[in-house]
């Protein structure tokens, strides 16, 4: 079976200024490759500074890789840092929903912007779609008129989810999106995510610290260490028998 | 799931109306706002509602004290000056010059400042650092001094004063707007908006500007109080408005020799200047406090 999302030999380095004319290169990602099938979840774990968030940003298109390809459904969407702009099939959910939503716009306006920038729908169709999406993530249609400051953290994460889902993406990248929620709200959100996955065959790339969450949600696991793939494979297999030092340390074996 | 209040119109307010609600609870700022509005109206309508013309002389009434004084005359409520001109009419018309022109100057400054500041904010690298350092140099000169230098080049006169003030205030403006834009552009929701496919223009108009316009209003009020003081100061130094123009600073300078003989001709323009600057600062300070409170939320 052709995998939905395929990442090949992704490289990314940052250039920092070390002196007046000197530049320092910091290699953040080295030869990252993985595949995600439709309706599957890939979890990415690793220590702080191991390049998880950079990977998420590169996948979603917020940053560009230096080298490597990202393929979606067999089509190349990013090749050596050149991305075709039309592609909105991979959507990113940020870590902190209070900061990733524009405080000056209502939820409806914000979602409307998303749609009008990427689709050819008419105003009525957009309204209908926004209301449909809001109910889909467990919010009410009345929330159309609400401003972000009127929501609690858990609800805001639902709004962020609605924003990601409204363009009918194929892959949703969750960059620590569940870490800031308290356990009960997190459980709700996780159940919501799994339900959406069952309904529409979404694929998730889950970036997190929580091992229990990884075990619960993911089919595959990728362990990053200093920008390199330390271990990659079936989640249960890795949990049962970790091969890399990093994973062994994480699991306290 | 938590229970929602479905009909929560009270709390379903835009950031702007929340701002107004908090601003209303700050009474000194509200009084300042009313005075500000009154002065603005006066600035626009003064020539029509003033009882006498500004240069109309009354030979029978020289140096009359205000009407509540026992020597005063009720025809001239605030008295007359040494040429028999009605002080009230002159002061009312002065609002047009000192206050009205300050508003115009501050508006123009804000407009240019926002355009250039935004440009500076979105530019990167060499262009941005060049612009920054140029602005930093001009920032080290006080605005009044800069205005005097510009007047020295352009020559004295009311219109030149306005230009001088605009140019003198512009660097600070561009700088503050630039900082606001840069701060805003680094926020997560801007990169989220960019991921939605927004162009640079859309990011500016939908993402950045709706979140900084209150700050721009605060900057505007600061510019306004500086502009009032600068116009009056330049008028007083005989570099700006020339007598018989009824600019408050010029009136002050013109009547300075009468200070012992007719203190009302000097005191009243001073009081008006004080009120104008105070009300502007009260409004600006009230706005700033509200904004600070909103950040805490």
Residue B293 sits at the chain A interface (C-beta within 8 Å): no
Cis peptide before B128 (omega within 30 of 0): no
Mean pLDDT, rounded, for B111-133: 86
pLDDT band for position B102 (cuts 50, 70, 90): very high
The answer to whether residue B15 is domain-embedded is no
Say if residue B9's pLDDT is above 70.
no
Cross-chain Cβ contact A92/B192 below 8 Å: yes
Cross-chain Cβ contact B196/A117 below 8 Å: yes
Q: Which residues 158-187 of A are in CB contact (within 8 Å) with B?
A: 163
Closest Cα in chain B, distance from residue A30 (Å): 24
User: CB within 8 A of A17, min separation 6: which ones?
Assistant: A23, A24
Lowest mean pLDDT among A154-163, B13-22, B118-127: B13-22
The answer to whether residue B169 is domain-embedded is yes
Phi and psi at A202, nearest 5°, equal -70, 155
Closest Cα in chain A, distance from residue B15 (Å): 7
Between residues B277 and A210, the one the model is more confident about: B277
Cross-chain Cβ contact B195/A92 below 8 Å: yes
Residue A88 sits at the chain B interface (C-beta within 8 Å): yes
Closest Cα in chain A, distance from residue B210 (Å): 6
Q: Is B16 left (phi over 0), alpha (psi -120 to 50) or beta?
A: alpha
Contacts of B210 in chain A (CB under 8 A): 102, 104-105
User: CB within 8 A of B164, min separation 6: which ones?
Assistant: B146, B147, B148, B150, B151, B154, B234
Say if residue B295's pLDDT is above 60.
no
The boundaries of the domain holding residue A223 are 1-89+210-253
The answer to whether residue A107 is domain-embedded is no
Cross-chain CB nearest to A145 (options B1, B12, B210): B12
Unique residue bearing structure tokens 């804000």: B110
Between residues B124 and B239, the one the model is more confident about: B239
Cross-chain CB nearest to A150 (options B11, B207, B210): B11
pLDDT band for position B280 (cuts 50, 70, 90): very high
Cross-chain Cβ contact A96/B194 below 8 Å: no
Mean pLDDT, rounded, for B20-29: 89
Q: Which residue pairs from A194-198 have beta carbons closer than 8 angstroms and sit at least 24 positions apart in sequence?
A: A196/A136, A196/A137, A196/A165, A197/A39, A197/A41
Task: List the one residue out of A187, A145, A181, A189 whose CA is nearest residue A164.
Answer: A189
Q: With contact defined as beta carbons under 8 Å apart, do B230 and B97 qualify? A: no
Please report, rounded to a whole number, the percentage of residues in chain B having pLDDT higher than 70: 94
The answer to whether residue B115 is domain-embedded is yes
Scanning every residue of chain B, which has its alpha carbon at the shortest distance from the alpha carbon of A96?
Answer: B188
Round the CA-based radius of gyration of chain A to a whole number and report it: 19
The answer to whether residue B104 is domain-embedded is yes
Q: E strands along A37-95, which residues?
A: 41-46, 67-72, 75-79, 82-83, 90-93
Closest Cα in chain B, distance from residue A235 (Å): 30
pLDDT band for position B104 (cuts 50, 70, 90): very high
Query: For the whole model, what pTM was predicted?
Result: 0.81
pLDDT score at B260: 92
The answer to whether residue B61 is domain-embedded is no
The answer to whether residue B30 is domain-embedded is no
pLDDT score at B242: 85
Give the best residue of B6, B196, B202, B208 to mutate against chain A (max A CB count within 10 A).
B196
Contacts of A91 in chain B (CB under 8 A): 195
Say if residue B1's pLDDT is above 50.
no
* Sheet of A220-225, strand order: A90-93, A171-175, A203-207, A41-46, A220-225, A228-234
Task: List the one residue out of A210, A183, A227 whose CA is nearest residue A58.
Answer: A227
Per residue in A71-93, pLDDT (tens digit) is: 888 788 877 777 776 667 888 88
Cross-chain Cβ contact B198/A117 below 8 Å: yes
Residue A140 sits at the chain B interface (C-beta within 8 Å): yes
Residue B297 sits at the chain A interface (C-beta within 8 Å): yes
CATH code of the domain in which A228 resides: 3.40.50.300
The boundaries of the domain holding residue B213 are 39-45+75-296
- Which letter, b or e, does each residue of B41-80 get, where b requires 16 or more Cβ atoms within 10 Å of its Cβ? ebbeebeeebebebeeebeebebbbbeeeeebbeebebbb
The answer to whether residue A111 is domain-embedded is no
Closest Cα in chain A, distance from residue B266 (Å): 48
The answer to whether residue B17 is domain-embedded is no
CATH code of the domain in which B126 resides: 1.10.3720.10
Residue B11 sits at the chain A interface (C-beta within 8 Å): yes
The count of domains in chain B is: 1
Contacts of A146 in chain B (CB under 8 A): 12
pLDDT score at A1: 62
The answer to whether residue A3 is domain-embedded is yes
Say if residue B296's pLDDT is above 60.
no
Mean pLDDT, rounded, for B243-256: 89
The count of domains in chain A is: 1
The answer to whether residue A14 is domain-embedded is yes
The answer to whether residue B8 is domain-embedded is no
Cross-chain CB nearest to B191 (options A62, A117, A150): A62
CA atoms within 13 A on the CB side of A14: 12
The answer to whether residue A47 is domain-embedded is yes
Cross-chain Cβ contact B1/A88 below 8 Å: no
The answer to whether residue A135 is domain-embedded is no
State both tokens at A243: 């091969």
pLDDT score at B158: 87
What is the DSSP code string of B113-159? Answer: HHHHHHHHHH--HHHHHHHHHHHHHHHTS-HHHHHHHHHHHH-SSHH
The answer to whether residue A248 is domain-embedded is yes
Angle in degrees, 0-180, between the axes of helices A123-136 and A107-118, rounded to the nearest 10: 120
pLDDT, block means (10 residues), chain A with 253 residues: 81 77 79 87 86 85 83 80 73 84 85 86 90 87 84 85 87 84 84 88 87 88 87 88 85 76
Per residue in B138-182, pLDDT (tens digit) is: 888 888 888 888 898 988 888 899 999 998 899 888 889 998 998
pLDDT score at A39: 86
The answer to whether residue A244 is domain-embedded is yes
Cross-chain Cβ contact A113/B6 below 8 Å: no
């Amino acid at each position: 079976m052709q995998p939905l999302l395929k990442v090949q030999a992704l490289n990314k380095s940052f250039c920092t200024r070390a002196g007046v004319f000197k530049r320092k290169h910091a290699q953040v990602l080295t030869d990252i490759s993985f595949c995600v099938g439709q309706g599957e979840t890939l979890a990415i774990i690793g220590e702080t500074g191991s390049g998880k968030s950079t990977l998420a940003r590169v996948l979603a298109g917020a940053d560009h890789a230096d080298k490597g390809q990202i393929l979606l459904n067999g089509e190349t969407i990013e090749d050596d840092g050149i991305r075709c702009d039309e592609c909105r099939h991979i959507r990113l959910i940020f870590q902190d929903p209070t900061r990733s939503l524009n405080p000056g716009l209502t939820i409806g306006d914000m979602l409307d912007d998303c749609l009008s920038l990427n689709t050819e729908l008419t105003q009525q169709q957009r309204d209908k779609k926004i209301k449909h999406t809001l109910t889909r993530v467990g919010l009410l249609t009345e929330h159309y008129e609400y401003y972000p400051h009127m929501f609690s953290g858990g609800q805001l994460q639902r709004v962020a989810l609605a924003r990601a889902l409204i363009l009918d993406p194929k892959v949703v990248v969750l960059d620590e999106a569940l870490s800031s929620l308290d356990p009960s709200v997190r459980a709700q959100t996780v159940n919501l995510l799994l339900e959406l996955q069952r309904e529409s065959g979404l694929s998730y790339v889950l970036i997190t610290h929580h091992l229990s969450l990884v075990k619960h949600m993911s089919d595959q696991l990728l362990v990053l260490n200093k920008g390199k793939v330390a271990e990659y494979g079936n989640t249960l297999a890795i949990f049962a028998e970790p091969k890399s030092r990093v994973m062994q340390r994480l699991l306290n074996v | 799931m938590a229970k929602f209040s479905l009909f929560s119109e009270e709390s379903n307010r835009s950031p702007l109306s929340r701002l107004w609600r908090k601003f209303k609870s700050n009474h000194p700022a509200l009084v300042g706002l009313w005075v500000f509005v009154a002065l603005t109206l006066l600035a626009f309508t003064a020539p029509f509602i003033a009882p006498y013309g500004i240069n109309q002389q009354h030979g029978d009434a020289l140096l009359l004290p205000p009407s509540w004084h026992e020597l005063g005359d009720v025809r001239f409520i605030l008295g007359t000056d040494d040429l028999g001109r009605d002080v009230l009419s002159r002061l009312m018309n002065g609002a047009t010059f000192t206050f009205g022109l300050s508003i115009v100057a501050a508006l123009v400054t804000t407009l240019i400042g926002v355009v250039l500041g935004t440009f500076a904010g979105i530019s990167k690298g060499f262009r941005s650092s060049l612009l920054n350092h140029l602005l930093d140099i001009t920032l080290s000169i006080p605005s009044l001094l800069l205005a005097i230098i510009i007047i020295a080049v352009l020559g004295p006169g009311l219109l030149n004063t306005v230009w001088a003030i605009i140019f003198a205030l512009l660097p600070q403006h561009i700088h503050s707007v630039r900082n606001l834009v840069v701060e805003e552009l680094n926020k997560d929701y801007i990169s989220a908006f960019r991921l939605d496919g927004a162009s640079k223009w859309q990011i500016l108009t939908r993402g950045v500007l709706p979140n900084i316009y209150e700050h721009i209003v605060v900057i505007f009020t600061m510019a306004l109080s500086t502009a009032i003081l600068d116009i009056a100061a330049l008028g007083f130094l005989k570099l700006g408005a020339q007598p018989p123009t009824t600019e408050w600073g010029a009136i002050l300078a013109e009547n300075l020799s009468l200070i012992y003989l007719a203190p009302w001709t000097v005191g009243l323009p001073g009081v008006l200047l004080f009120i104008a600057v105070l009300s502007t600062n009260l409004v600006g300070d009230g706005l700033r406090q509200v904004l600070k409170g909103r950040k805490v939320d």
